[in-house]
Structure 1
Amino acid sequence: MKLNIQRYIPVAALSLMLFNSSCSDSFLEKSPSDYITSNDLEEVAKWNTNILMGQALGTYSTTFAMSTGGVGGHDDFGQKAVDIATDLMSGDMVIMMKGYGWFEMAGDLTCSTRTAAQFSYQFWRYYYRLIKATNEILDAAGGDEAQPTGESGVYFAQAKALRAYSYFNLVNLYARPYLEDKNALSIPVYRTQLTSEAAQKSTVEEVYNLIVKDLTDAIPMLEGYVRPSGQKDQINQAIAKGMLAYVYLTMGKYAEAAELSQEVIDSGEYTLMNRTEVINSGFNSVSIPGWMWAIDLTTSNSPALPTFWGHMDLFTYSYAYAGGEKLIDTNLYNSIPESDVRKKWFTEIGSDGKQAELTNWWKFYDSKRIYGNREWYNDEVYMRVAEMYLINAEANARNNALPAAQNTLKALLDERDTETASKVADMGKEELLDQIYFNWRLELWAEGRGLLTMKRFQKSITRCQEDAMLPGQTYDYKDERLTFKIPENEIINNPNLKD
C-alpha cells in the first residue's frame, strides 16, 4: 500500500491523539492547509476509521482558522467573519468609527462586487474550500451515494451535513432568495474531487435539492451518535436537523421546518439560556446548555487577535477594546422594551450617570472584564437552540398554525421579557410575525443571522446616525449590494461562470 507519507503522518497523529485523549479540548489543527488525497484515504479507510476522523476534524478547524478565505487580513477567519460581515450588511450592527479598516467594506456595502477580495472572493474561497474537504471524505468512503456504517458512517454523515451547510450559505450569499426565483442560475456544484472538470452554474433549485438530499441522508446516519463529553465542534443529529429546518424555512416548506425544529426542542438535549445566563454567561463557553454547535478555542488552536472575540469584545484586548466597536442599530435598540432583559446587553451607565455607547457591553464578554483575555481562547457559537424556537414560531405563524407559534414564542420570551410574553396569546398573524422578526434581530444579534432574516422578511432599513459608514441611508432587501457577485478571478479560471 503506497501512501503520501508527508500528508499521512500529521493526520494519523491527530487521529491517534483524539482517539486516546480524555481531555475536553478538541485538539483541532490550528491551520489545516493540506488534505490527504482521496486515493490515500480510500486505501487507509479500509483498515483505520481514525484517518477519516482526523480528516473530518481537520475540516472543522477550517471554520475558525485564520486566512481560510485566502485573503489573510484580520477579518479572514472563517465562519465568524462571515457572521460579522453579513450582520453589518443588514444594518442591525454598525461600525462606530472608521480606522482599522477591518469589515469596513461590509459596513459600507462595497464588499459584494466582482473585484472585492473582501469579502466576495474570501467567502467564495472559504466555502468552496470546505466543500473540497468534505468531498474528499465522501470520495474516500465510496462517493456521496455510499452508505457506510459505524464510525465511518458518522464522519460520512458529518461531511454531508457540512457540505450542505456550505452550499446553503453560498447560494444565499451569491443568489437571490429561493422563493423569489428558484430557476435563476446561481453557483457551480461539485460533488466529488475525483475530477478537475469545471462545473457550470446550477439553478437555485438544483443547489437546494442537493442541500436537502445531503441533510436527509445525514440525519438517519447520525442517529445515536454522541459527541465526546464537553465537546460541541462535531455535527450531531440535532445540528443536522437544525440545518434542515433552516433550509425548509427558507424554501417556504413551513410544516417541515416546524416539525424538525420541534423535534430538536422536544429532545431535551439543549435548554434555552435562562434570564441569568443571557446576561451573566458572557456567551463565552461551549458549556452553556443552550449552545448546540460551538468551537472550544484554546491557546493552541486560536488564531489569536483575528477572531470573533478580537473584533467584538470590549474587554478582551482587541480591536473593539482599542476603539473599533460595533454598535447595535439605534432604532433596534430603542425598540427593545424596558422589560426585556436583553436590553442590558447594550446598556451601561458611565461614571457621569449617563448611558454609554450602544455597544456590546454584556452579551459577548470575558468574565474577567478589562484585559480579561489576551490569548483569545473564548469559545465561538455556530448554532443555539434559541434558533429552533424562532424557526418553529416563524414556520408555524407563516403556516397559519398560530397557537403553536404563540406557544413557542412565549416559551422563548418567558426567559427574556415576561411582560411581552403575557401578550403573545392575543397576537394575530401579522403582529406575531413582527414580534418574531424583532426577536430574530435581537436574540441573534452579532451571530450572523441578520442578512438572511432581512431577506426572508423582505424588510428595509435606515442606517442610524451613529453608523460611521452609511449614516441615514435607506436600502431594502432587494438592494443589489446585498447579493455577492461571483469573483472575477473565478470567472477567469472557469468561463462557465460568466453571466
Structure 2
Amino acid sequence: MKKYILISWLVLMFATACNDDLLNTQPQTSIPEAIAYSTPEKILAQTNNLYKQLQNQSFYGGRFIVFNEQRADQFGQNDGNAATGSAVWNQNMASTNDFVNNVWSVGYTAINASNILISKMNETNVIPGTLAKNYIAEAKFIRAFCYFSLVQTYAKPYNQDKNALGLPLRLTPITTSGNNDLARSTVDKVYTQILKDLDEAEIDLPLSYSTSLLNASRAKKVTAIALKTRVLLVQNNFEKVIAESQKIVSATAPFQYTGEGLTLKLEASFAGLFGGSYTGSEAIFSIPFANSTTETPAAQFALAYNYVTQPILFLAAAGVASDPALNSSSDARASLIGTNVANQKIVKKFNVTTAPFRDYVPVIRYAEVLLNYAEAAASTNDLATALALLKAVRNRSDPNYLFPVIDVATKEGLIATIQKERDIEFLGEGFRLMDLQRKVQTLPAKKGSIGTAPLVLPSSSNYIWPIPSGELAANKLIVPNP
C-alpha cells in the first residue's frame, strides 16, 4: 500500500527580493509519499510546512501565548465562556479539555513532520548534501522548539524535579498506524534532547538568508543560539547561558551582533517592533502571516482579539500594569498600554484588530537574549555586565532613566530588577508563566470580571497541564500526571 502524507505547498522566495510575502500557499492536498520529496521544490515545500505547523492558531500562531498569560498573574479575564479559555484562567483544566488536547496534538504533529523530513533528507540525492543538512538543521530546530514548549506545559519544571516524568520522546517518523505506544522520558532527558538538537542545528543552519523577512521567520545559526539561552536559563545553567550569549552579543555597548548578511540589535523604536514591519534588527524569530485569510487565526484565537478587540484579557491592577514605566510619558512601552470602554487597561502590542488578524507573532527578540544574559551574569556575580545589559534594554525605551542604586547594588536586588524588566518588556508575549515556573514560584491568585482565580502552589497538580485524554487513550505506555 502506498503511503500518503499531508503537505502544504508553501514556497519561500529565497532569491526574489521583490516578493515580500513569506508564504505562497495553495490548498492542502494528499499526495503519495514517494513523490513528496521527489524534486527540490517539493522538498522545500515540506521544509516550509514545518513552520506552518508553528503557525497553527492553537500554537504560536495564536492561543498558546494567550494560554501562558492566562495561567500567570498579569491579566484578569472578562469572558466566562469555555471557548475563550475561562478554565485556563481559573486554573481548572481537565485532561479532556480541547485546549489541552489541541496543543499536545499540534506540537507532536510538528515533531513528527520534523522526524519525517530528517529521515528523508538522510536518504535523498535530489538536492545537494549541504542543502539537505540545512533542512535537517531546520527540522531539528523546530523539533527542539516544540519539545521545549510541550515539556514546560505538561511536565514539572526542570528546577523542581528534573527526574520527574516528562514527555514521550519521539525521534523517529510515524507514517502508519499502530505506533502510538511510548513511555514518558524524564524531564532531564527531554531537555538533553532539546539542547542536542539545538547544538546540531547551530552547526548546519545558515548564517543568514537573502531577505529580512526570511531572516526573521526561518531558523538560522543565531536563532538556535538564542533559543539555547532561553532553555539554559530555565535550567539555571547560568555559565552556559553566558557562553551562548557571548556568541551573539558584543562585549561592550552598544550590544549587537554582526555576521554575514545579518545585524542583530535593539531597534531604536519599541513601538516600531509592533507597528507593521516585523522584520527589523531585533526580530530573531517570528511567526509570520501572509495575505491569505486562510492562514490567519480565527477571531477567538488571535492575539489582537484577545488583548484589544474583545478584549478577553485585561491588565490586572495589582500586576506590572501599575509599574511607573508603564504609566510614564517618558517610557515608550507605556504607549502600547491603552484603556477600553470598561476603563480597564489593555495591551495594544498586537494592533490588527479586525479580521483577518495578520500581526506577526514575536517569538524570540534580541531584547530577550540581552536580559537572559543579564540574569545569568548577575547570578554569577558579574554585576557590572548585568547592569550594562539591563540599562541597554531600559534606556532603549526611556533614554534618560536611571535605576535607583538600591535596586541594582546587590546581586539579589539586581536579579529582581531584571525580572521586573522582563515583566515590562515582554508583557503579553507569553513569558510570565515560564519565569514563574522556572523559579518554582507560586502562581498567584488574580481577580477578573468572572471572579477570582485561586493561587496555585508548585506542589499542586494543576501547576502544570494534565496529559491529554487523547494521548492516554491512544498510548498504552503513557501514564497521567499525579
- TM bucket, shorter chain: 0.7 to 0.9
Deviation sequence 1:416-468 (CA, Å, 0-9, x none): 34434474894211111111111222211111111111112333354444x13
Residue 40 (structure 1) shift = 4.6
In the alignment, the residues of structure 1 paired with residue 478 and residue 421 of structure 2 have an alpha-carbon distance, to the nearest angstrom, of: 38
TM superposition shift of 1:469: 4.2
Residue of structure 1 equivalent to 2:296: 302
Which of 305, 309, 322 is matched with 1:311 structurally?
305
Paired AA for residue 187 in structure 2:
V
Counterpart of 1:399? 380
2:434 equivalent in structure 1: 452
Judged with a 3 Å threshold, the aligned counterparts in structure 2 of structure 1 residues 284 and 30 are, in CA distance, closer, same or farther, namely: farther
**Contact 1:285/1:296 (<8 A) preserved:** no
Note the C-alpha offset of 1:325: 4.2
**Distance in 2 (alpha carbons) for counterparts of 1:95 and 1:31:** 36
Q: Which residue does 2:203 correspond to in 1? A: 220
Equivalent residues in 2 for 1:145-224, closer than 5 Å: 149-193=129-173, 196=179, 198-224=181-207
| Paired letter, 2:389 | T
Provide the residue aligned with 2:350 in structure 1: 364
Given the superposition, is the C-alpha separation of residues 349 and 306 from structure 1 closer, same or farther in structure 2, using an over 3 Å criterion? closer
Amino acid at match of 2:299: L
User: Partners of 2:248 and 2:32 in 1: how far apart?
Assistant: 35
Inter-partner Cα distance in structure 2 for 1:425 and 1:280:
29
Give the whole-Å Cα distance in 2 for the aligned partners of 1:156 and 1:423. 49
* TM-score where L is the length of structure 1: 0.82
Tell me the distance in 2 between the aligned counterparts of 1:415 and 1:33: 47
* Aligned-partner residue type, residue 22 of structure 2: S
Residues 211-264 of structure 1 show CA distances to partners (whole Å, capped at 9, x for unaligned) of 111111000111434253433221111111111111111122211112212322
2:67 paired residue number:
85
Matched, 1:65 2:65: no
Q: Distance in 2 between matches of 1:233 and 1:31?
A: 21
Q: Does 1:412 align with 2:393?
A: yes
- Change in Cα spacing, 1:405 to 1:33, as seen in structure 2 (3 Å) is farther
Residue aligning to 2:254: none
Shift of 1:342: 2.4
Matching of residue 289 in structure 1 with residue 281 in structure 2: yes
SS of residue paired to 1:273: coil
Partner of 2:105: 125
Alpha-carbon distance in structure 1 between the residues aligned to 2:112 and 2:194: 15
SS at match of 1:183: coil
Mapped partners of 2:53, 2:28: distance in 1:
6
TM-superposed CA distance for 1:36, in Å, is 6.3
Alpha-carbon distance between aligned partners in 2 of 1:177 and 1:345, rounded to the nearest angstrom: 31
The residue matched to 2:76 in structure 1 has which SS?
A: strand
Determine if contact 1:83/1:448 at 8 Å carries over to the other structure: yes
Cα distance in 2 between the residues matched to 1:139 and 1:247: 26
Q: What's 1:430 paired with?
A: 412
Q: How much has 1:308 moved relative to structure 2?
A: 2.6
Whether the aligned pair in 2 keeps the contact of 1:270 and 1:290 (CA below 8 Å) is yes
Q: Shift of residue 297 of structure 1?
A: 1.5
- Structure 1 partner of 2:267: 273
Report SS of the residue matched to 1:475. Answer: coil
Superposed displacement of residue 7, structure 1: 6.1
Does 1:346 pair with 2:337? yes
Work out whether residues 164 and 210 of structure 1, in 8 Å CA contact, stay in contact via their aligned partners in 2.
yes
Partner of residue 253, structure 2: none
TM-superposed CA distance for 1:22, in Å, is 4.2
Bigger strand fraction: 2
Contact 2:56–2:106 (CA under 8 A) maintained in structure 1: no
The 8 Å contact of residues 300 and 306 in structure 2, kept in 1 or not, is answered as: no
- Cα deviations by residue, 1:93-122 (Å, 9 ceiling, x for unpaired): 2213435741212111122x322222x211
Q: What's the TM-score once normalised by structure 2's chain length? A: 0.85
Percent identity reads 20
Cα distance between partner residues in 2 of 1:488 and 1:303: 25
Partner residue, 1:330: 318
Task: Tell me the distance in 1 between the aligned counterparts of 2:465 and 2:356.
Answer: 33
> Which stretch of structure 1 is more off in the superposition, 382-391 or 326-335?
326-335
Distance 1:423 1:80 in 2: 40
The answer on whether the counterparts of 1:294 and 1:379 sit within 8 Å (CA) in structure 2 is yes
Shift, 1:159, TM fit? 0.3
Q: What is the alpha-carbon distance in structure 2 between the residues aligned to residue 494 and residue 128 of structure 1? A: 13
Instruction: Report the CA distance shift for 1:167/1:434 in structure 2 as closer, same or farther (over 3 A).
Output: same
CA contact (8 A) 2:14 2:211 kept: no
Distance 2:45 2:388 in 1: 43
Asked whether the 8 Å contact 1:174–1:485 carries over to 2, the reply is yes
Consecutive unaligned residues in structure 1, runs of 5 or more? 67-75, 367-371
Q: Deviations over 1:351-401 (max 9, x none)?
A: xxxx9321124x3224xxxxx644322322211111101111111122222
Cα distance in 2 for partners of 1:135, 1:490 equals 19
Q: Which residue of 1 is the match for residue 118 of structure 2?
A: 138
CA contact (8 A) 2:61 2:297 kept: no
Unaligned runs of 5+ in 2: 251-256
Counterparts in 2 of 1:166 and 1:456: CA distance versus 1, 3 Å: same
